[in-house]
Amino acid sequence: MKSLLRFFNDLKQYPSAIASMVIILILLGISVYTLVTIPYAEAVRLWRGGEDVWYQLPKTVPPAWVNSFSATKLPDTIILNTATDPSLKTGEEPSGDGKRINMEFTFDFPYDEFPQEMSLYLKAKYDEKAPFVSLTWFKPDGSKISLGNFSMQGATQNFRFSQDPKLKNRFGEVQPQEALLAVKGSDPLQVEKGQYKLQVQAITFEKESEINVEFIEYGKVYGIAGTDHMRRNLMVALLWGMPVALSFGLIAALGTSIASMIIAAFGAWFGGWIDELIQRVTEINSVLPFLPILIMVGTFYSRSIFTILAVTILLSIFGLSIKNYRAIFLQVREMPYIEAARAYGASNSRIILNYLVPRIIPLLVPGLVTGIPSYVFLEASLSVLGLGDPVLPTWGKIIQDAEFNGALYQGMYYWVMEPAILLMITGLAFSMLGFALDRIFNPRLRGM
Amino acid sequence: MSESPQATPQAQNKPQKAESASRGVGRVMKYMAVRLVTLFITVVIGVYLTILIANMGGYVDQIRRGEIQEAAQQRVLTDQALKNLPPEARTKRLEEIIKLEEKRYGLDKPFVVRSMGYLSDAVTLSLGRSQNISSDSGSRQVRLILLERLPATVLLFGTADLLLFFVSLFIGLALSRRYGSFWDKFIVTLSPLSAAPGWFFGIFLIAFFSAYLRILPFGGMVAVPPPDNRLDYFISLLYHMILPVLAITVSSIFISAYGNRTFFLIYSSEDYVEMAKAKGLKSQDVERRYVLRPTLPTIITGFAFTLIGLWTGAPIFETVFNWPGLGRVIFQAVGLYDTPVIVASVVLFAYLLAITVFLLDFIYALVDPRVKIGGEGKSA
């Protein structure tokens, strides 16, 4: 207890250590929050989901907060759905067997740029005769444009403004979703800010027939993290990447250092052929190319994060640290307290595990903490190479997607920078803490 | 149970006068020869392990079987006598040929026997033909594909490592002279940055210099199409090397400079350094003869380990920078599932690591007087 207190007192002298511990705690907190709010199955479902999960989000748009840093305000996404908001249905009157339903989607558009796309998702319930729909667009100045009218082709139908042949025909060179929001006659096109209204009039022909319409104006920014090429909210992967990165780094660093410490202790204690064997294995391990072998395992066997973790630990046990540990154990072995233990008849395993190993834990801790970032980055490297876990969303995978889609080349910096900065923060936090611990535990370095 | 820890250095047992230069060279040569043989054996065992890993799923066998099948089909297609046979007889003949060939290659023998054959093939890199990748000269020979890429990798990482070595040496020296100054604290504070690997800084550098400023290329080794003129080619190469070399330097410079500086500080507080200063030697001489000399082995070890780290990280680094080296070939081979290329490049990387270790030993033998004078080769 006392030594623990002294340790914290020592730690207080290193502001970088305190800062990094706070960061690590925050990262751990976010990880726990993520695991609770987005359970594993949900995360996998979301990340592997296609258009059906993510159809409401715009494609490859930066996070919404970029608007606070730029003079031109990019449009946000507006979603209006009559199924969830019945007040959008402004009128209903009987007509023949069915009804005439009036729906009005009113929204403000105070932005400086045009939306990425506008779409209507129509869902109808009918037996034989599909509802008939007509669309009218009202601009802020009151002028109105008929967007067309059609009979629905099935129970569900999507009407994409940019893909509609009639609209495309009418506006020629200009994208329909831009022409509809532009100041008349402006060149280059300018947004006419104000309140827009899309009126959807539907006529049903059966008594039980129903219709619901969802209008989505796809903006050019989204949420805290933005979206990727599959319309996925990057937040899911950014959040989930955190527990994955932390646990991979922690488990790999912990497993490696404890295993190599115990092996080194056995080698130093028993000496002879055991020590010789360990030394030879270390030598062989030093010519095994680490990343290429991991790549080989990932390609031939399994890309599951557990396999990769196991191989990583196996290949790292006989690394550089085992030599250092051995040198220290050789010194400790000759100390009087070990001799005393031997004199009272302590067994080999008791001496190794109870007397030798605890002795070098102060040396182990800084090395362990400093080692965490390298494993965090290793996991990211494998994901960037396309050898990440096939189902889990991770930071490395975002970078890979971004690289593959030429994100930097096209100026979509947010896509690469968000996971990269998170990686950097995680790596720096552990590495800074490790450096501080190293000085606390190795007073020799303290003055330097 | 406990033997004496480490035999006392033999140099102390038999005090020797200054030896003739030729005897020193002879010792170094002998030492190097022993190291070379040991390292080769180590590599062979390492390669055997690689084969075991690769073959656990029967992949090396698949390479062989695929090759035999291809060859047999070629033979059946080109053989005039077989061409005129009815299809069924021809298939039967094909199967016979394949079976015979498999027997000839020993595919019917137990794995232990077979694996020895693979071992010799892998050690000589004669892993046959690739499945999908071809070299720039159009060859499908795995060895040619890899050897063609090797210079690019060696050029990039060799340059970066040398630069890093000298720059960090000078920064380390400069900092140890100005211990406690702003720049000293600055470098020490930044040293945790080195936790991030080179490719990671590469992404930031590409984002800034290539994507934002548009003044440096996104990747690749030379402009497309490559310039005809030698000078232009060289300039284009340099131009493309700026970012990758910078990325490697940024990722390691702080920790290397910090490490060097700390060593210099430790050694410059030794009594003999004080003595030299007291004698009135120039500070440059003191640094060179009394501080740099004893730290050299450690610094060179650091240099070699950095290089080893760079070789190992090549697949990801070269992928990020689109550098047409060995690492990028692995990445391509993974994408195309090209087994022979993957196995062969792992073997080639093992060679690169072993050569680096050997070079380290060699330089060590030159700078560490214990090797030249004493016989204790193992402690190196």
Are residue A212 and residue A246 in the same domain, yes or no? no
Q: Do A288 and B353 touch (CB under 8 A)?
A: yes
Mutate to test the interface with B, among A273, A274, A300 (most CBs of B within 10 A): A300
Q: Is residue A185 assigned to a domain?
A: yes
Are residue B218 and residue B239 in the same domain, yes or no? yes
Of A370, A386, A431, the CB nearest to B334: A386
Report the C-alpha gap between B101 and B74 in whole angstroms. 13
Are residue B116 and residue B38 in the same domain, yes or no? yes
Provide, as residue numbers in chain B, all residues whose Cβ is less than 8 Å from the Cβ of A341: none
Q: Do A334 and B3 touch (CB under 8 A)?
A: no
Are residue B66 and residue B162 in the same domain, yes or no? no
Are residue A254 and residue A357 in the same domain, yes or no? yes
A319 touching B (Cβ < 8 Å) = no
Query: By residue range, what is the domain housing residue A164?
Result: 72-218
Provide the chain A residues 71-110 that lie in CB contact (below 8 A) with chain B.
none
- Look at residue A444 and tell me whether its pLDDT is greater than 70: no
Mutate to test the interface with A, among B39, B45, B123, B357 (most CBs of A within 10 A): B45
Instruction: Give residue B125's region: left, alpha or beta (phi > 0; psi -120 to 50).
Output: left
Q: Is residue B138 assigned to a domain?
A: no
A226 close to A62: Cβ distance less than 8 angstroms: yes
Question: What is the model's pLDDT at position B372?
Answer: 65
A291-304 as b/e, with b when 16 or more CB fall inside 10 Å?
A: bbbbbbbbbbbebe
Model confidence over B97-109: pLDDT tens digits?
888 877 777 777 7
Residue in chain B closest to A418 (alpha carbons) equals B204
Provide, as residue numbers in chain B, all residues whose Cβ is less than 8 Å from the Cβ of A409: 211, 218
Are residue B215 and residue B294 in the same domain, yes or no? yes
Are residue A323 and residue A379 in the same domain, yes or no? yes
- Look at residue B379 and tell me whether its pLDDT is greater than 60: no
Question: What is the model's pLDDT at position B10?
Answer: 43
Are residue A259 and residue A397 in the same domain, yes or no? yes
Residue in chain B closest to A384 (alpha carbons) equals B316
Are residue A22 and residue A111 in the same domain, yes or no? no
The mean pLDDT value of chain A amounts to: 88
Could you give the C-alpha distances from A202 to A142, A165, B52, in angstroms and in order? 22, 21, 69
Distance of residue B18 Cα from the nearest chain A Cα, in angstroms: 31
Last residue of a domain, one of A184, A218, A252: A218
Q: Do B203 and A330 touch (CB under 8 A)?
A: no
Of A295, A416, A423, the CB nearest to B207: A416
- Look at residue A310 and tell me whether its pLDDT is greater than 90: yes
Are residue A156 and residue A125 in the same domain, yes or no? yes
Report the C-alpha gap between A56 and A265 in whole angstroms. 59
Q: Do B357 and A286 touch (CB under 8 A)?
A: yes
Q: Do A289 and B352 touch (CB under 8 A)?
A: yes
Q: Do A384 and B319 touch (CB under 8 A)?
A: yes
Q: Do B337 and A377 touch (CB under 8 A)?
A: no
Residue A438: count of CB within 10 angstroms of its CB: 17
Report the C-alpha gap between A296 and A150 in whole angstroms. 56
Q: Is residue A408 assigned to a domain?
A: yes
Of B5, B203, B308, the CB nearest to A330: B5
Are residue B204 and residue B346 in the same domain, yes or no? no
Distance of residue B46 Cα from the nearest chain A Cα, in angstroms: 6
- Look at residue B377 and tell me whether its pLDDT is greater than 60: no
Q: What CATH number is given to the structural domain containing A426?
A: 1.10.3720.10
- Look at residue B151 and tell me whether its pLDDT is greater than 90: yes
Tell me which DSSP letter residue A8 carries.
H
A338 touching B (Cβ < 8 Å) = no
Higher-confidence residue of B9 and B234: namely B234
- Look at residue B2 and tell me whether its pLDDT is greater than 60: no
Provide, as residue numbers in chain B, all residues whose Cβ is less than 8 Å from the Cβ of A319: none
Distance of residue B220 Cα from the nearest chain A Cα, in angstroms: 14
Q: Is residue A228 assigned to a domain?
A: no
A388 touching B (Cβ < 8 Å) = no
- Look at residue A372 and tell me whether its pLDDT is greater than 90: yes
Q: The tokens 């006068």 sit on which residue?
A: B17
Total number of domains in chain A: 2
Question: What is the model's pLDDT at position B362?
Answer: 84
B72 close to B97: Cβ distance less than 8 angstroms: yes
Residue in chain B closest to A434 (alpha carbons) equals B192
Distance of residue A54 Cα from the nearest chain B Cα, in angstroms: 28
Question: What is the model's pLDDT at position A189?
Answer: 84
Tell me which DSSP letter residue B242 carries.
H
Q: Do A289 and B206 touch (CB under 8 A)?
A: no
Q: In 3-state terms, what secondary structure has residue B281?
A: coil
Model confidence over A53-73: pLDDT tens digits?
888 899 889 998 988 898 888
Q: Is residue A64 assigned to a domain?
A: no
Question: What is the model's pLDDT at position B13?
Answer: 44
Tell me which DSSP letter residue B196 carries.
S
Q: What CATH number is given to the structural domain containing A132?
A: 2.60.120
Are residue A176 and residue A319 in the same domain, yes or no? no
**Average of pLDDT values for A257-265?**
92
Adjacency order of strands within the sheet including A89-95 = A89-95, A98-109, A194-203, A132-138, A144-151
Q: Do A334 and B42 touch (CB under 8 A)?
A: no
Q: End-to-end CA distance of chain A, in Å?
A: 28
Q: What CATH number is given to the structural domain containing B323?
A: 1.10.3720
Higher-confidence residue of B27 and A254: namely A254
Of A291, A330, A445, the CB nearest to B316: A291
Q: Is residue B9 assigned to a domain?
A: no
Residue A192: count of CB within 10 angstroms of its CB: 16
Model confidence over B306-318: pLDDT tens digits?
898 898 899 999 9
Are residue A196 and residue A100 in the same domain, yes or no? yes
Are residue A142 and residue A12 in the same domain, yes or no? no
Distance of residue A15 Cα from the nearest chain B Cα, in angstroms: 11
Are residue B20 and residue B77 in the same domain, yes or no? yes
Last residue of a domain, one of A185, A218, A251: A218
Mutate to test the interface with A, among B316, B328, B351, B379 (most CBs of A within 10 A): B316
Q: Is residue A92 assigned to a domain?
A: yes
Are residue B329 and residue B350 in the same domain, yes or no? no
Distance of residue A151 Cα from the nearest chain B Cα, in angstroms: 47
Among residues B364, B351, B296, B360, which one has the least CA distance to residue B154?
B351
Are residue B365 and residue B329 in the same domain, yes or no? no
Q: Which of A183-187, A310-314, B77-81 has the highest mean pLDDT?
A: A310-314
Question: What is the model's pLDDT at position B5?
Answer: 42
Provide the chain A residues 232-271 that lie in CB contact (below 8 A) with chain B.
271
Last residue of a domain, one of A170, A193, A218: A218
Amino acid at A382: L
Q: Is residue A168 assigned to a domain?
A: yes
Model confidence over B291-350: pLDDT tens digits?
888 888 888 888 888 898 898 899 999 999 999 999 999 888 888 877 788 888 888 999
Query: Is residue A20 very low, low, confident or very high in pLDDT (cuts 50, 70, 90)?
Result: very high
Q: Is residue B42 assigned to a domain?
A: yes
Question: What is the model's pLDDT at position A388?
Answer: 85
A148 close to A164: Cβ distance less than 8 angstroms: yes
Report the C-alpha gap between B243 and B295 in whole angstroms. 31
Of A289, A416, A434, the CB nearest to B353: A289
Q: Is residue A58 assigned to a domain?
A: no
Q: Is residue B139 assigned to a domain?
A: no
Mutate to test the interface with A, among B3, B133, B312, B338 (most CBs of A within 10 A): B312
Question: What is the model's pLDDT at position A410?
Answer: 87
Are residue A240 and residue A369 in the same domain, yes or no? yes
Are residue B260 and residue B195 in the same domain, yes or no? yes
Query: Is residue A447 very low, low, confident or very high in pLDDT (cuts 50, 70, 90)?
Result: low
Are residue B80 and residue B50 in the same domain, yes or no? yes
Are residue B211 and residue B187 in the same domain, yes or no? yes
Are residue A284 and residue A424 in the same domain, yes or no? yes
Are residue A33 and residue A86 in the same domain, yes or no? no
Among residues A443, A440, A246, A263, which one has the least CA distance to residue A352?
A263
Question: What is the model's pLDDT at position A208?
Answer: 83
Residue in chain B closest to A319 (alpha carbons) equals B305
Query: By residue range, what is the domain housing residue B303?
Result: 150-337
Q: Do A299 and B337 touch (CB under 8 A)?
A: yes
B320 close to B198: Cβ distance less than 8 angstroms: no
Q: Is residue A409 assigned to a domain?
A: yes
Question: What is the model's pLDDT at position A378?
Answer: 93
Among residues A341, A444, A211, A52, which one has the least CA distance to residue B265?
A444
Total number of domains in chain B: 2
Q: Is residue B25 assigned to a domain?
A: yes
Are residue B176 and residue B320 in the same domain, yes or no? yes
